[in-house]
Amino acid sequence: MIDAIDVHKKYVDVVALSGVSIAVNAHQALGLVGPNGAGKSSLLRIICGLSRPDAGAARLDGHDPVREPMAARRRLGCVPEHPPLFDLLTGHEQLMWVGRVHEIPDAVLIARIDELAAALDLSEALPRRIAGYSKGMRQKVAFAAALLHDPRLIILDEPFEGVDVVAVDTMKAIIRQFVDHGAAVLLSSHILGLVEDVCTQYAVMNGGRLMFEGDRQRLALEAGKLTAGAGRPLESVFLDRVAPNRIVRRLTTLAGGASQSSSS
């Protein structure tokens, strides 16, 4: 349902994506992880139709998000890396505007806004302007806006950033409910534990390439092969694929490093 097929992208002399292919089907949540600059956000922007690939293609329920933007986005709920919220609107006005863009009847829309606001602890904040929201509150509004039209395809780029623990737990439960109901979810986050908990499939990127892709069973199998695992399977495979020869160096000019170094 969500597909990227041999996608390439270059920014001047920086290769962001080099032949990346992924597929997320109904009843699946794929966790996309990688270090900073791995190409994750570039890939998600292309899949959402916010950027054009240099080569390759993206498909949302078989529709090209560049050539068929309306057909593709009608099925899509998206929280991009920097959610486009209107600071001069209240949270309620923002959600009403998004819902009306999707042509949701007002009675249904208001019921959905009330339900999501209650679940995400936003009810008291919605009457206030977004300009005064914290980072976490903005993320929660963007998350709610992405789900108002009951999408079957959901793309989330760092949705948990700045969000409190209670709301994160609620967001995880909501994502699982959508997956159970048949949605395809593509989630990118640096919080590996959350990704491992909520997702059913996993993909590790580095340097614009896909370094690992598989389900929970394959993830556990790959992690079991590593002699120096970091603990949880996704973290172990991530570190092995991204930085297999890394050395954690002790600081010598801070936190007492110089004194310990001179006394040894």
pLDDT per position as a tens digit, 183-198:
999 999 999 999 999 9
Please tell me the pTM assigned to this model: 0.91
The answer to whether the CB of 26 falls within 8 A of the CB of 182 is yes
> Given the structure tokens 């614009």, which residue do they identify?
208
pLDDT of residue 256: 81
Per-chain mean pLDDT for the chain:
92
CATH 3.40.50.300 in the chain: give the residue spans: 2-75+151-263
In words, the CATH class of domain 2-75+151-263 is: alpha beta
Q: How far apart are the C-alpha atoms of 198 and 169, rounded to whole Å?
A: 10
Is the pLDDT at 64 greater than 90? The verdict is yes
Q: How far apart are the C-alpha atoms of 140 and 223, rounded to whole Å?
A: 33
Picking from 98, 91, 100, the residue whose alpha carbon sits closest to that of residue 136 is: 91
Mean pLDDT (whole number) for 78-83: 91
Picking from 126, 106, 105, the residue whose alpha carbon sits closest to that of residue 116 is: 126
